[in-house]
Amino acid sequence: MGLLRFLFLLTLQLSLFTLSSQATMTNQSYFFSLMNQTLSGNSLSRWNFSSVGVSDSYFCNFAGVGCDNRGYVIKIDLTAWSLTGYFPEGVCSYMPELRILHLGHNHLQRNFPISITNCSLLEELNMTHMNLSGSLPDFSPMKSLRFLDLSYNRFTGDFPLSLTNLTNLETMNFNENGDFKLWKLPVELSRLTKLKRMILTTCSIYGEIPRWIGNMTSLVDLELTGNFLQGQIPAEIGKLKNLQALELYYNQHLSGEIPDELGNLTKLTDLDMSVNKLTGKIPESVCKLPNLRVLQLYNNSLSGEIPRVIENSTTLTLLSLYDNYLTGTVPPNLGTSPNMMGLDLSENRLSGELPKQVCKGGKLLYFCMLQNLFSGEVPENYANCKSLLRFRVSNNRLRGRVPDGLFSLPHASIIDLAFNQFEGPIGKSVGSARNLSELFLQGNRFSGSIPPEISRATNLVKIDLSNNNLSGPIPPEMGSLRKLNTLMLQGNKLDSSIPDSLSSLKSLNVLDLSNNLLTGTIPESICELLPNSINLSNNNLSGPIPLSLTKWGLEESLSGNPGLCISVYPNPLEQKFPTCPKLHSRKRVNHIWLIGISVAFVIVGIALFLKRWLGKDKGVAKHNKTLSSSPFSYEMKSFHKINFDQKQIIESLVEKNVVGHGGSGTVYKIELSDGKAVAVKKLSTRKSKVLTPEDHLFLNKELKTEVQTLGSIRHKNIVKLYGYFSSLDLNLLVYEYMPNGNLWDALHKGRNLLDWPTRHKIALGISQGVAYLHHDLLPPIIHRDIKSTNILLNAEYQPKVADFGVAKVLQARAKDSSTTVIAGTCGYLAPEYAYTSKATTKCDVYSFGVVLMELLTGKKPVEVEFGESKNIICWVSCKVETKEGATEVLDKRLSCSFRDEMMKVLRIAIRCTSRTPAHRPTMNEVVQLLIEADPCNFHSFKSSNKVKEPSNETKTKNSSQ
C-alpha cells in the first residue's frame, strides 16, 4: 500500500513536473521571440526560429545561449552583438533558472531594466558599455550575484547602496559611470567579505578612505580613482594581504604621507597614487615590494630621495614620479629590471648623473628626465638603447658631446636635448633615425654645420636647432623633408642664402631663420608656402622683398635686414623698408632709428615679461609688490608691433564703445589715433571694491592663461593678441578687432543670412585653427570652451578662435592631460568632461561638433523645440535615423543646391559628437573631411569652364597637416 501510494505520488509529481516544465519551455521560447522583437541588430539573424517545434528547447542551440540538461536557460551572452532597441522586462519570470546574463557592448539607450533585480539566482550580470542612463534600482533581491559589471554607462542618482546586501559579491565594477550624487563609502560595504574587485572609478565618492577598508581582506583590486577623496591614506590598507592593484590616482585631495604599511602588500603589482597632494618621502618599504611592476606617484608634493632599493627590483616596468619635489641622485642602477619600459622622473630637483644602466633590460621605451638638475654627460651606452621611443632630457645641466648613436635611435620619435650645455657637432647618423618626428636641440652649444644627412630622416615633423653655435649653410637637402611642419634655426651663425628647395616643404607651418648671418635674396618660391609664422629678421638678407610677403603683413618678421627693399611704387611700407633700388639717405637714418626703437621696445617687453612670469607659483606675493597702486602705472607687454597709447585706450573704456560682455569681462572697440581699430577686453573685477588677494590670484590666472597661450600663437584662424596692460585695479587685453562680431550673433541674430559656402568656410577655418592648437603646438593646447560666441569673424567672414581664458596647455609626454577646473559652457560640453572633469583634445572636437550642428541647422545648441532632451545633439541624432529626417534638420533657409555637401558635413558633426571620445575623429581628420565636403570645389567642378584657383584654405590645409 505504502509503495503504491509512493509510486502514485511519484508519477503525479513527474507529470506535474513535465507540465510545469512544458509551461517553462513555452515561457522561455516566448522570451526569445520577445527579445527578437525589442532588440534589433544583424547578429540576431543567427537565431534560427525555424527550428521551433522540432524540439521544445530549440533555443538551447542558439548562439550565446546556454541551458542545463533539463532545457532551462542558464546563460544568455549577447556581448558586442551591436544591438539597439531595449532588453525586455521580466527576464527571470520567463527564465527562472538564469545564472549568467552578459549584455555588454551594445547600445540600448534606455534605463536599467528593473525587473532584472528579480533574478534571485543570477550570479553574473555584465552590462558594461551599454549607454544606459537613469537611476539604479534596489539590488537587494539579487542574493546570488557574484559578478556585477555596470561600467561605462551614464547612471545618475544615488549610488545603489543596496549592493551592501549582496554578500556573495566578488566583483563590483562601476568604472567610468555617470553622475551619481556625492556619497561616502558606508561601513556596510565591509560586510562584503568575499569582494575581490571593488572598482569605483569616477563614482562621485567624497570623504576619507575609511579605516575599516582594511577588513575587506579578500580584495585583490581596489580602484577609487577619479573621486573626491581627501585626507590621509589609512595605514589599514596594509592589511589587505591579497591586494594586487591599488589605484587611488586623480583624487587631488589625498594628503599626508604614504603609509609605510603599504610595504606589507607583498602581492601588489600596480600602485598608482598620482595627482594628489601626498607629501613626505616615498617609503622604502614600497620600493622593496617583490612583485611591484608599476609605481606611479606623479603630480604630488613628495620630497626626499628616491629610495635606493628600487634599483634592485626585478619586476619593475614603469616608474613615473614626475612633478614632485624629489631631490638627491637617482639610484645608479635604476632601470636594470629586465622588464623596464618607462622611466619618467621629470620636473623634480634631482641632481647628479643620469643612471647608466637604464637600457640593460633592452625594453625601455620612454626615458623622460626633463626639468631637473642633472649634470655630467649622457652615458656612452645610451647609444645602445635601441628600443627607445622617446628620449627627453631637456632643461637640465647636462654637458659634453652627445653619443653619436643617440641621434640615430631606430624607433625614437622624439629626441629632446634642449636647454642643456651640450656641445660638439650634430651627428651625421641622424639620417638613419627613420622614425624620428621631433628633434629638439635648441638652447645648447652645438657647433659645426647642420649635417645634410638629416634630410634622410624623412619622418621629421619638427626640428628646433635654435640658439646654438651652428654655422655653415642651411643644407638645401632639407627640402626633401616632406612632413616638416616646424623649422626653427634662429639664433645661430648660419651663413648661406635661404635655399630655394625649402619651398618644397609643403607642410611647413613655422619657419624661423632669424638672428643668423643669412645672405642673398628671399626666394620668391618661399612665399608659395605662406607658413603661418615666418621670421627672417636680423640677418643680412638683401634685395627686393617678394610682393606676397608684404601683402601678408609680415613686415615685422623681415626687420633687421638693412639690405631689404620694396620694389613697388608707391612703397606701401616706406616707414620700414626703403624703396628699391635707390635709397634716400634720410630714409635710411629713419630706418636705423626705427630699428633702434623696435629693439628697445622688444627688450623692455621681454624684461617685463620675464619679471612677470618667471616668478611663477611663488611669485604671487612678490608679483603684487611690483604692481604700483597708481592707476596709470602699468605692466605691459606687446606681442606685435602696433602702437597703442595706454592713456588713449583707458580713456576710451566708456559705455558707448562696449561691443560685448564675454564670460570673463567686457569687450570694447577702440579706434586708435592711426584709424585702426582694436578690441580691448577688460577682465571683470568686483565693482567698487578693492581687490582681495584671491581676486588677484584669479585674475592673474586668467590673464596668465590667455596671455601665455595667445601671445605665442600665430595662425590665421586664431585671434591675434596684440598685448596687455595690467595694474592693480585694471587688466586689459588688446586684440585685433573683428568687424563681423561673433558667430553666434551672425547665425542667430544676424540680419544677413550666411549662405552655405560661407558657413563651410567658417567651419573649415575653425577646424584649422583648432587643429593647429592640437597638433602643431608643443605642448598642445586644449581650448576647452569652443562655442559660437568664441568664434569671431573678420571682414571676409574668416573665422578666428578667441577667448583662451580657460585654455589648458597640455603637458607634453603623455603626462597629465586632465585638468581640475570645470570650464566650458553648457550645451557644448563633452559628456565625459562633465563628469570626469578631464579635458582632452577630444572634448574640443565634441564642442566643435556642436558648432557644426549650429552651422548646419541654424539652431541654437539648446532650444525649446528640441523637447525633453533639450539639446541639439539628441535632436539631430534622433532625426537622422531616417533619411527624410536627416534633410529636415538642415537649415531650411538655405538653398538646397548644397544638400549633398551639407549631408557630408552632418555626418562629420555626428562623428564629432559621439559619446565615446575614441569614436570622435581628431581635429586633423576633421580638417581633411571638411575639405572633402567643400561646396566650392564641387561647384567649380560642375561648371568647369573656369579654372579655379586654390583657395587660401586649401593652401594652408597642406601646411597644417
Binding residue positions:
682
Smaller CB distance to ligand NAG: residue 79 or 633? 79
Binding site for ATP: residue ranges?
682
Pairing of strands 658-662, 665-671: antiparallel
Determine the interface stretch with ligand NAG among 161-169, 224-232, 621-629, 939-947 (rule: CB under 6 A): 161-169
Could you report how far apart the first and last alpha carbons of the chain are, in Å? 94
Sole binder of ligand NAG in the list 24, 29, 126, 202 (CB under 6 A): 126
Lookup: cell for 311:
634599483
Determine the interface stretch with ligand NAG among 162-170, 227-235, 346-354, 503-511 (rule: CB under 6 A): 162-170
Q: How many residues in the chain?
A: 961
Sole binder of ligand NAG in the list 57, 111, 164, 255 (CB under 6 A): 164
Determine the interface stretch with ligand NAG among 160-168, 493-501, 733-741, 829-837 (rule: CB under 6 A): 160-168
Smaller CB distance to ligand NAG: residue 49 or 613? 49
- Cα dihedral value 749, 751, 757, 762, nearest 10: -40
Other CB atoms within 10 A of residue 123 CB: 19
Sole binder of ligand NAG in the list 31, 147, 367, 634 (CB under 6 A): 147
Q: Give the span between the Cα atoms of 853 and 872, in whole angstroms.
A: 7
Lookup: cell for 631:
592707476
CB of 161 to ligand NAG, least distance (A): 4
Question: Is 403 in a helix, a strand, or coil?
Answer: coil
Q: Give the span between the Cα atoms of 637 and 585, in whole angstroms.
A: 33
Regarding 712 and contact with ligand NAG (CB under 6 A), the answer is: no
Sole binder of ligand NAG in the list 28, 117, 165, 837 (CB under 6 A): 165
What element of type H or E holds 415? strand 414-416
Tell me the site size for ligand NAG, rule CB under 6 A: 21
Sole binder of ligand NAG in the list 100, 121, 161, 595 (CB under 6 A): 161
CB of 151 to ligand NAG, least distance (A): 8
Residues near 712 by Cβ (< 8 Å), separated by ≥ 6? none
CB of 214 to ligand NAG, least distance (A): 7
Regarding 351 and contact with ligand NAG (CB under 6 A), the answer is: no
Q: Residues 323, 776, 785, 816: which is the catalytic one?
A: 785
Q: Give the span between the Cα atoms of 495 and 4, in whole angstroms.
A: 116
Residue closest to 301 by CA, chosen among 327, 325, 321? 325
Residue with cell 569652443: 786
Regarding 300 and contact with ligand NAG (CB under 6 A), the answer is: no
8 A C-beta contact, residue 378 and residue 355 = no
Site mask for ligand NAG (CB under 6 A), range 80-119, x = bound: ------------------------x---------------
Q: Give the span between the Cα atoms of 47 and 50, in whole angstroms.
A: 9
Sole binder of ligand NAG in the list 27, 190, 504, 940 (CB under 6 A): 190
Regarding 171 and contact with ligand NAG (CB under 6 A), the answer is: yes
Regarding 153 and contact with ligand NAG (CB under 6 A), the answer is: no
CB of 45 to ligand NAG, least distance (A): 8
Lookup: cell for 817:
592631460
Residue 419 vs residues 379, 468, 593, 928: alpha-carbon distances, Å: 18, 10, 34, 36
Site mask for ligand NAG (CB under 6 A), range 203-242, x = bound: ---------x--x---------------------------
Residue with cell 536599467: 112
Smaller CB distance to ligand NAG: residue 2 or 53? 53
Amino acid at 644: F
Cis omega (within 30 of 0) for bond into 379: no
Please compute, for residue 464, the number of CA atoms within 13 A of its CA located in the half-sphere on the CB side: 18
Q: Is 560 left (phi over 0), alpha (psi -120 to 50) or beta?
A: left
Smaller CB distance to ligand NAG: residue 161 or 936? 161
Question: Is 228 in a helix, a strand, or coil?
Answer: strand
Residues near 920 by Cβ (< 8 Å), separated by ≥ 6? 842, 845, 846, 849, 911, 912, 913, 914
Other CB atoms within 10 A of residue 545 CB: 25
Pairing of strands 277-279, 303-304: unpaired
Residue with cell 547602496: 161
CB of 89 to ligand NAG, least distance (A): 18
Determine the interface stretch with ligand NAG among 158-166, 331-339, 424-432, 654-662 (rule: CB under 6 A): 158-166
Residue with cell 570623504: 207
Residue closest to 113 by CA, chosen among 38, 177, 40, 41? 38
CB of 87 to ligand NAG, least distance (A): 15
Smaller CB distance to ligand NAG: residue 102 or 462? 102
Q: Nearest 5 degrees, angle CA 79-CA 840-CA 157?
A: 55
Regarding 324 and contact with ligand NAG (CB under 6 A), the answer is: no
Regarding 797 and contact with ligand NAG (CB under 6 A), the answer is: no
CB of 111 to ligand NAG, least distance (A): 19
Sole binder of ligand NAG in the list 187, 517, 600, 602 (CB under 6 A): 187
Pairing of strands 84-85, 39-40: antiparallel
Smaller CB distance to ligand NAG: residue 40 or 266? 40
Q: Nearest 5 degrees, angle CA 217-CA 142-CA 32?
A: 130
CB of 831 to ligand NAG, least distance (A): 21
8 A C-beta contact, residue 728 and residue 629 = yes
- CA-derived radius of gyration, the chain: 33
Regarding 183 and contact with ligand NAG (CB under 6 A), the answer is: no
Regarding 149 and contact with ligand NAG (CB under 6 A), the answer is: yes
Sole binder of ligand NAG in the list 128, 313, 442, 492 (CB under 6 A): 128
Regarding 140 and contact with ligand NAG (CB under 6 A), the answer is: yes
785 is catalytic: yes
Sole binder of ligand NAG in the list 38, 57, 118, 162 (CB under 6 A): 162
Q: Nearest 5 degrees, angle CA 161-CA 162-CA 164?
A: 80
Helices (H) and strands (E) in the chain, counts: 19, 51
Regarding 938 and contact with ligand NAG (CB under 6 A), the answer is: no
Site mask for ligand NAG (CB under 6 A), range 24-63, x = bound: ---------x--x------------x--------------
Regarding 173 and contact with ligand NAG (CB under 6 A), the answer is: yes
CB of 249 to ligand NAG, least distance (A): 21
Smaller CB distance to ligand NAG: residue 62 or 639? 62
DSSP-derived letter for residue 473 is P
Regarding 735 and contact with ligand NAG (CB under 6 A), the answer is: no
Locate the DSSP E strands across 158-244.
171-173, 179-180, 197-199, 206-208, 221-223, 228-232
DSSP-derived letter for residue 772 is I
Determine the interface stretch with ligand NAG among 163-171, 719-727, 760-768, 925-933 (rule: CB under 6 A): 163-171
Regarding 79 and contact with ligand NAG (CB under 6 A), the answer is: yes
CB of 225 to ligand NAG, least distance (A): 17
8 A C-beta contact, residue 782 and residue 728 = no
Determine the interface stretch with ligand NAG among 165-173, 361-369, 419-427, 708-716 (rule: CB under 6 A): 165-173
Determine the interface stretch with ligand NAG among 164-172, 507-515, 702-710, 905-913 (rule: CB under 6 A): 164-172
Regarding 816 and contact with ligand NAG (CB under 6 A), the answer is: no
Smaller CB distance to ligand NAG: residue 50 or 629? 50
Write out the catalytic residue numbers.
785
Give the footprint of ligand NAG on this chain (CB under 6 A). Answer: 33, 36, 49, 79, 104, 126, 128, 138, 140, 147, 149, 161-162, 164-165, 171, 173, 187, 190, 212, 215
